[in-house]
Structure formats: structure tokens, C-alpha cells
Amino acid sequence: MSPDIQQVVQQISKLQSLDIPEVSRFSPADFRFAIQSLVAEDNLVLALAMVDAGISLYPQSEDILAIGGLLAMTICEWELAIELLQDLCAVQQDLVQPMTYQMLARALCCNLDMAEASQVLAKGLAAWPNDPTLLAEQATIGFSHHHMPAAGLRN
């Protein structure tokens, strides 16, 4: 992380707020490094605020969308993870990587949208037919989908 952004992160940590004009001078890569640093320090609230600021300044940044999606998954914010990872897919278009498909499918699965998770994996496997990560995720989601207890059944 550059000394400038490290200083801003320290100032923000003390204030617990973000000054958009102050952080707008930083690049998406600076935001990614700052977010990674904050996560390493277990300051997830501020890291999420940095994601929000980064997205507001750079809504098409693959760096910020990817790290934001990972952070959202880490804190079990499934809807946010889905939104950020779908935005990442839209930005990358035909260049979406297998891990992005896998993470999006998992977030959808955790949000109990099994049908959409299966569709995402099918799309990923169409682009990456023999990817072991996607094949393993498909097996996991298929197993979860077929073994979920029915609502209302009680012993």
C-alpha cells in the first residue's frame, strides 16, 4: 500500500468515516491494497466502507468488484456478494474466470437460490468445460440441492 493511502486509511480508522474527495485521488489498485490491509487487520467494517467508496468512484473496476465480492462472502453478506460478483461478470463479459463463476454460484447457493446457482455453473462450464473447480462446485451444489430438508417437516 502506498504511504499516502496508508496515511488516509489510518486517518479514516480514527474517524470511522470516509472523505470521498480525500480518497478520490487513489487508483482502484490502491483501494484493493487498502481493503486487503484492513481485512488483514480484522477491520472488516472499514474495509467494507472502502469497498463502497471504491465502487462509487470506480464502478467498473475489476479489482474493487473482486475484492468486494470476496469480502462480502467472508462476512456472509450474500446479497452484496451476488451483486458485486454479477457486476464483475458484466464488466468482464466473455473473460469471466472460473473462480468468479464458482464464487458467484456459491454466494447464490448460500442465499438459497439453487436454480440460479446451477445456471451460473452451467454458464461457467460452457466457457470452461473441464475446469475442476467448477466441476467440483457443481457436484457440491447438486448434492446440497438434492439433500436439503423440506420446510415444515418435523420428526
Does residue 88 carry a pLDDT above 90?
Answer: yes
- Over range 19-48, report the average pLDDT: 85
**In angstroms, rounded to a whole number, what is the distance separating the alpha carbons of residues 132 and 12?**
41
Q: What are phi and psi of 80, to 5 degrees?
A: -65, -45
Q: Which of 11-15, 63-67, 79-83, 123-127 has the lowest mean pLDDT?
A: 11-15
In the prediction, which pLDDT does 53 show?
A: 86
Contacts of 28 (CB under 8 A, 6+ apart): 54, 58, 61, 62, 63, 64
**In angstroms, rounded to a whole number, what is the distance separating the alpha carbons of residues 82 and 73?**
9
Name the band, by pLDDT with cuts 50, 70 and 90, for residue 139: confident
Q: Which of 2-11, 18-27, 33-42, 121-130 has the lowest mean pLDDT?
A: 2-11
Does residue 29 carry a pLDDT above 50?
Answer: yes
Query: What are the pLDDT digits (tens) for 51-76?
Result: 988 898 899 999 999 999 999 999 99
pTM of the model: 0.80
In the prediction, which pLDDT does 143 show?
A: 57
In the prediction, which pLDDT does 9 show?
A: 63
User: What value does the mean pLDDT of the chain take?
Assistant: 84
In the prediction, which pLDDT does 124 show?
A: 96
**In angstroms, rounded to a whole number, what is the distance separating the alpha carbons of residues 36 and 44?**
10
